[in-house]
Structure 1
Amino acid sequence: MSPAEFAAAQWSRATGAGVDPHEYRRVTDGLASVADWGPSFLRTGHGYLQRAQAAGSARSAGEYLLMAARWFHLSTLAPHAEAHRAAAEADHALSRALTMLEPGARRVSGEGFSGWLRGPSNALGTVIVVPGLDSAKEEFLDLVSALLTRGLAVFAMDGPGQGVLAATTTFVPDYERVVGRVIDALGSAERTGVVGLVGLSLGGYFAARAAALEPRVAAVATVSGPFRLDWEELPPPVRHIMAQRAGGADAAREFARHVDLAALAPRITAPLLVVDGGQDVIPGVTNGESLARLAPHGTYLSVPHGDHLLGNARADWLPRLSDHIAHALTGTPA
């Protein structure tokens, strides 16, 4: 794949994550090969660190650091030697930003998870945001902001094999155990209320599975989440990433075998919103319509022009998803 083709494939994901589209084009137009992706995005992130250091206020510095975190994370979308360091830099930039911008934000970590708890201490509900195959908590800052503006507390996390934990851990099929430990930890932080889950891409499977098996989940939404995976049909790049995150090809094949919600969907008693993009067609991936149909309180939202993660159609789903979670957790009108 040429660098231009790779950049086009990542366009809506990157801009959906909140980077400036004009800067994205400037950075990617200068790539001689896909191998240049990681180093170029790292340099861009370091440029934002320099802006943060020179900023005239803590607010400006924090905003620059949030942008640095986005670029560092996006650098990991193409394989490169510094990918694990980039994930650590994304995590560090986000931590510095939230320390400056939100004194009440708290780092919460435990076995198989690490993330930031944000929002009011007296929130009626807490939303756990679950990333996917190669995403991380730094990718979904705009989603977190939408939930925060509705008065919710939000815990954006990295789980096993994800984000800052990708260097030291691997995927687990029983993600409900991770979610259970997160809920326990948030309860210790005295900021839980009732709990909702939002899962994105493979995180949609993790969230749906946890909602079926963890009785404390009171609301759930998935975005571009798989209902089922067929390892043999998955594109080689997807299998490669999954092998990296699962600990090898055999482990990835076994992990993919578990990704099937047919038996679990009827056990999801919480209100469920399933969001899919009509243009999101990946061989070997069965999208979420069956999940919404089989869940007792499932609602399906298909955006015809939406792609994977629907970064090209945020206005068509992000407000509705945020309202769905807020209404289910707090009773406020949707």
Structure 2
Amino acid sequence: MSAELVEALFSRATGAGIDPHDYRRTCAEIATPADWAPVCAAAAARYRTAPGSAITRGHHLLMAARWSHLATLVPDENHVAHAQAADFAAEQGLSLLEPTARRITGPDFTGILRGPADPAGTVIVVPGLDSSKDEFHVLADALLARGASVFAMDGPGQGARVATSTLTSDYPAVVSAAIDALGVVHVGVVGLSLGGYYAAAAAARDPRITVAAIVSGPYRLDWAALPDPVRDVMTRRAGSPAAAAAFAATVDLTERAPRLACPLLVVDGGDDLIPGVTDAAALAQYAPNGRYLRVPGGDHLVGNNQQAWLPALADHLTQGFA
């Protein structure tokens, strides 16, 4: 079971920017699933305390944030502490590497704004059910390299806000509140996994969003058919089984798809098949300006083949500001 767990999370870890050899060495210490979080937390601590120049320390702290986030992916009594450690390490690391980066927080969200003061546009990165803003540094770096600013956020039930909030069906309003707080004119949004649903729903709601993309996002969910591990995570993030089932019932883009008028890129992995999840191929079909990219052999979040989609997605989002 532990070997299967380590293998199942391999592409997710490496897709988040963790060196594959470091992952294999570190996870060799995992004998049971109960070891997952403590081993990941210990790896985060090694990076967090590693010496070096300011630049070296900055990179080490971002790596610590990724490992602390990984620690949250398997149930553990210190879940909240791991999420908070990821948030703190990322902010510390970015303060050393990018002094202009700044935290922006609202009643229902928090995140770090990175990038130039006068960008062509700002992309909001929306995480999913058990992910956080600190899982997607690689995506953010690809957007920054193309001249965009990036606001990676944690909303209700996510990352830094997991201790104080639960899943909400009104996440699109949270994205709109983030746009208000950012005070920017040209806005794009990209959502990952369940964040893909959030991003699509927000783009259908808020005309200030002029370009959108989603990766491994659902078109709709069927609570009864979802695998037990997914329902367990959703239950923890929603607060109760009843709240989780009610939330899942709201995840449906059927009515929103025709209203999502901005340029949209939908990315799916060809091997990402989860019972109870209808993928977003229909969204690309029914959105007026939708385009679909299915990556053969791609897994959930397509971390096993980023080259097949990440450059195209980053181009799509940044060219959408032209």
Q: TM-score, normalising length from structure 2?
A: 0.99
**Residue 130 of structure 1 is aligned with which of 114, 126, 132?**
126
Partner of 2:3: 4
The secondary structure found in structure 2 opposite 1:273 is strand
Instruction: For residues 162-189 of structure 1, give each alpha carbon's deviation from its aligned partner in whole angstroms, at most 9, with x where no partner exists.
Output: 00101110011111110111000000xx
- Write the distance in 2 (CA, Å) between the matches of 1:107 and 1:50: 23
Partner of 2:24: 25
- Write the distance in 1 (CA, Å) between the matches of 2:5 and 2:164: 28
Q: Specify the code of the residue in structure 1 equivalent to 2:164.
A: T
Partner of 1:66: 62
Partner of 1:105: 101
Partner of 2:135: 139
The secondary structure found in structure 2 opposite 1:313 is helix
Tell me if structure 1 keeps the 8 A contact 2:199–2:214: yes
Q: Does 1:202 align with 2:199?
A: no
Tell me if structure 2 keeps the 8 A contact 1:128–1:197: yes
**Residue 174 of structure 1 is aligned with which of 158, 170, 177?**
170
Partner of 1:95: 91
Q: Does 1:260 align with 2:252?
A: yes
Tell me if structure 2 keeps the 8 A contact 1:124–1:193: no
Q: Does 1:36 align with 2:35?
A: yes
**Residue 249 of structure 1 is aligned with which of 235, 241, 245?**
241
- Aligned-pair identity in percent equals 55
Instruction: For residues 97-126 of structure 1, give each alpha carbon's deviation from its aligned partner in whole angstroms, at most 9, with x where no partner exists.
Output: 011111111100001100000000100200
Q: Does 1:85 align with 2:81?
A: yes
Mapping of 1:106-121 within 5 angstroms?
106-121=102-117
User: What's the offset of the Cα at 1:193?
Assistant: 3.1
Instruction: For residues 245-273 of structure 1, give each alpha carbon's deviation from its aligned partner in whole angstroms, at most 9, with x where no partner exists.
Output: 11111000000000010110000011000
- Write the distance in 2 (CA, Å) between the matches of 1:314 and 1:157: 21
Tell me if structure 2 keeps the 8 A contact 1:129–1:155: yes
Q: Does 1:148 align with 2:144?
A: yes
- Write the distance in 1 (CA, Å) between the matches of 2:274 and 2:10: 17
Tell me if structure 2 keeps the 8 A contact 1:120–1:151: yes
User: What's the offset of the Cα at 1:27?
Assistant: 1.8
Instruction: For residues 178-220 of structure 1, give each alpha carbon's deviation from its aligned partner in whole angstroms, at most 9, with x where no partner exists.
Output: 0111000000xxxx23000000000000000000111111000
The secondary structure found in structure 1 opposite 2:9 is helix
**Residue 218 of structure 2 is aligned with which of 223, 226, 231?**
226
| Count of matched residue pairs | 322
Unaligned runs of 5+ in 1: none
User: What's the offset of the Cα at 1:159?
Assistant: 0.4
User: What's the offset of the Cα at 1:23?
Assistant: 1.4
The secondary structure found in structure 2 opposite 1:239 is helix
Instruction: For residues 306-325 of structure 1, give each alpha carbon's deviation from its aligned partner in whole angstroms, at most 9, with x where no partner exists.
Output: 10000001000000000000
Instruction: For residues 71-91 of structure 1, give each alpha carbon's deviation from its aligned partner in whole angstroms, at most 9, with x where no partner exists.
Output: 000011111111110000000
Q: TM-score, normalising length from structure 1?
A: 0.96
Q: Specify the code of the residue in structure 2 equivalent to 1:106.
A: R
Q: Specify the code of the residue in structure 1 equivalent to 2:198.
A: F
- Write the distance in 2 (CA, Å) between the matches of 1:325 and 1:308: 21
Tell me if structure 1 keeps the 8 A contact 2:185–2:208: no
Q: Specify the code of the residue in structure 2 equivalent to 1:178.
A: V
The secondary structure found in structure 2 opposite 1:319 is helix
- Write the distance in 2 (CA, Å) between the matches of 1:18 and 1:118: 18
Partner of 2:47: 48
User: What's the offset of the Cα at 1:31?
Assistant: 1.1
Instruction: For residues 279-323 of structure 1, give each alpha carbon's deviation from its aligned partner in whole angstroms, at most 9, with x where no partner exists.
Output: 000000000100000000000000011100000010000000000
The secondary structure found in structure 1 opposite 2:49 is helix
Partner of 2:261: 269
- Write the distance in 2 (CA, Å) between the matches of 1:254 and 1:303: 32
- Write the distance in 2 (CA, Å) between the matches of 1:98 and 1:321: 24
The secondary structure found in structure 1 opposite 2:153 is strand
Tell me if structure 1 keeps the 8 A contact 2:40–2:71: yes
The secondary structure found in structure 2 opposite 1:127 is strand
Tell me if structure 2 keeps the 8 A contact 1:202–1:226: yes
Tell me if structure 2 keeps the 8 A contact 1:3–1:28: no
Post-superposition, which runs of at least 4 consecutive aligned residues in structure 1 deviate over 3 A? none
